[in-house]
Amino acid sequence: MSSADQDDVFSQRIREQWTDQLGRRLDILIAGCGRGGALDVGRYEPRVTGVDEDLPPLRAHTANRGDLEASYLGDLRLVPIPPRSFDVVYVSFLLERIRHAELVLDRLVAGLRPGGLLLLKMRDRKSAYGFCDRVTPRRLRRALWRTLAPAGSVGPLPAMYEPLASREGIQAYCLMRGLMIAEDYSAVSGPARRGPHGGLVSVVCRAVAALSRGRLNGTEDEITMVIRRPQNHFARLI
């Protein structure tokens, strides 16, 4: 499934959530608002709040957004996320670039109302693209970004890739927290693969995957999931 198709899935799930709430205005939190994370919400006009780290490129992009009613930049372990305040939490390419990713995700999930949706997009640490991203030295990443990334891309951003930033990591997390993974997709969306030398980057990723003897995915690099927090009051709560 393409990244654009996944965006359509997210839009459909938001429409369904709006219907389930009998037309009540939705509260949406976008975690990773400084990089992108726009949602097609159609005519529903939800209240959208954004949070992200306070880094210069993220600060500039957030300031230029017109879809956020409020935004908070800083340490994501401390920014205000009131418990059970959001119908939808969209985590947009955030987990792979922050430290303490599990603690931050705990806070984001705690902000969901029962029955709420966690929409997740992240770069897979077990992809060849993710591997190259996290092992490339910072100065070299900065130099390559200017050459490989599409014009206007926000970055380069930190590349932490803690164990949570993988399909197995999220599956284990959801099992421990009583969350249900409703949909799970893979896609190709790494910035360097969409840039002026995307063909060369794809060749490198396939070569790295071959050298890993199958441990790394040489094609897809993005994980997209639709995760639901149960309505059941006896489910494990954070």
CATH code at position 55: 3.40.50.150
What span, in angstroms and rounded, lies between the C-alpha atoms of 161 and 165? 6
pLDDT at 5 over 70: no
pTM score of the predicted model: 0.92
Amino acid at 73: L
CB 93 within 8 A of CB 125: no
The answer to whether residue 36 is domain-embedded is: yes
The answer to whether residue 46 is domain-embedded is: yes
The answer to whether residue 52 is domain-embedded is: yes
The answer to whether residue 173 is domain-embedded is: yes
Dmax (CA) of the chain? 53
What span, in angstroms and rounded, lies between the C-alpha atoms of 172 and 155? 30
The answer to whether residue 67 is domain-embedded is: yes
The answer to whether residue 215 is domain-embedded is: no
Average pLDDT for the chain: 92
pLDDT at 129: 98
CB 118 within 8 A of CB 229: yes
Looking at the structure of the chain, the number of domains it has is 1
For 33-56, what is each residue's pLDDT tens digit?
Answer: 999 878 887 777 899 999 999 999
Backbone dihedral region for residue 74 (phi beyond 0: left; psi -120 to 50: alpha; all else: beta): left
Beta bridge partners of 224: 121, 185
For 55-76, what is each residue's pLDDT tens digit?
Answer: 999 999 999 998 999 999 999 9
For 144-179, what is each residue's pLDDT tens digit?
Answer: 999 999 988 999 999 999 999 999 999 999 999 999
The answer to whether residue 82 is domain-embedded is: yes
Among 67, 29, 93, 77, residue whose Cα is nearest residue 229: 29
Return all residues near 84 (Cβ < 8 A) that are at least 6 apart: 110, 111, 112, 113, 114
The answer to whether residue 238 is domain-embedded is: no
What span, in angstroms and rounded, lies between the C-alpha atoms of 35 and 44? 23
Structural domain span for residue 36 = 3-123+160-189+222-228
Return all residues near 102 (Cβ < 8 A) that are at least 6 apart: 162, 164, 173
